[in-house]
Amino acid sequence: MGPLTSMNTFLTIYSTLKTNVTQIFRSLKLKEREHPKGRKPTLANSEAVTCAILKQKQNIATKKSLYEIIEPPCKYNAFVRAINHAGSYLARIIAALLSLTWKNPHLVKFTDATDIPVCLAKNAKRHKTMQGLAAWSKTGKGSFFGLKLHLSSDVAGRVLTLRFTPGNSDDRTIFKKMNKKLRGIFVADAGYVSQKLEREFFIEHERMLITATRKNMKKVTAPAHIMLLNLRMRVEVHFRILKLCYGLVTSFPRSI
């Protein structure tokens, strides 16, 4: 595939994505431009959101690289401000899309969390981009400085809820908050083991939590529970795709 073909493919992806985002903006009645003071912004909010999504969808490492590819009709600083400002609109769009998956989710659901380092460990002391949000924490892979992504999905792979928290947050506390409106059988790994959580989360005939056991625990597990626990890896597919394909984890500085 030559450079021209690659660029044509990229422009097709950009055009299709822009059309979809514009339709979502109209459906949610989001503002295209906000300029109470100063000059009218060059990029519409839907265009900024399109660029932000495109950067991750195509795994473009930096905003500078994206700027050089898109060649928008504005200076680089204005382009960066527009994309950073797009975060609030992205959050509203994600919330609207997640609400659609709540209409008919599968009975069986999975919850897990993954680490998101925001910089290399050696740079953590002077890291400022996520200052106040990132925190030191430890996983089986070692220590990291950053955030956690908590995610719940059903057995069909549909994402139902997600939250970003500091790296040192308690998974069990977040689990209860993010799933409080959902019903069904929830499956999680040993990091969510807590008799108190299982008791408080349980609603007769409506909701229950099944967790894996730690190595030092003796627990009689029903065959059906073992089958469900063996399926919990499905939620980790989302993490792998986000990290390996869409550049969720990078050592480059990023805005909130």
Q: Which positions of the chain have pLDDT values less than 50?
A: 1, 216
* pLDDT of amino acid 197: 93
Query: In a 3-state reduction of DSSP, which class is residue 201?
Result: helix
Query: In a 3-state reduction of DSSP, which class is residue 163?
Result: strand
* pLDDT of amino acid 26: 94
The predicted-structure confidence for 79-126, as pLDDT tens digits, reads as follows: 998 998 888 899 999 999 998 888 889 999 999 999 999 888 888 888
* pLDDT of amino acid 30: 92
Helix (H) / strand (E) element for 254: namely none
* pLDDT of amino acid 216: 47
* pLDDT of amino acid 171: 94
CA distances from 112 to 63, 176, 211 (A): 30, 12, 11
- Long-range contacts of residues 85-91, Cβ cutoff 8 Å, at least 24 apart: 85/45, 85/48, 86/45, 86/48, 86/49, 86/51, 86/52, 87/52, 87/255, 87/256, 89/25, 89/30, 89/45, 89/48, 89/49, 90/49, 90/52, 90/53
* pLDDT of amino acid 9: 83
* pLDDT of amino acid 59: 87
* pLDDT of amino acid 3: 58
Retrieve residue 97's tokens.
């899309």
* Amino acid residing at 140: G
Greatest C-alpha distance within the chain: 67
Task: Say if strands 184-188 and 108-117 run parallel, antiparallel, or are unpaired.
Answer: parallel
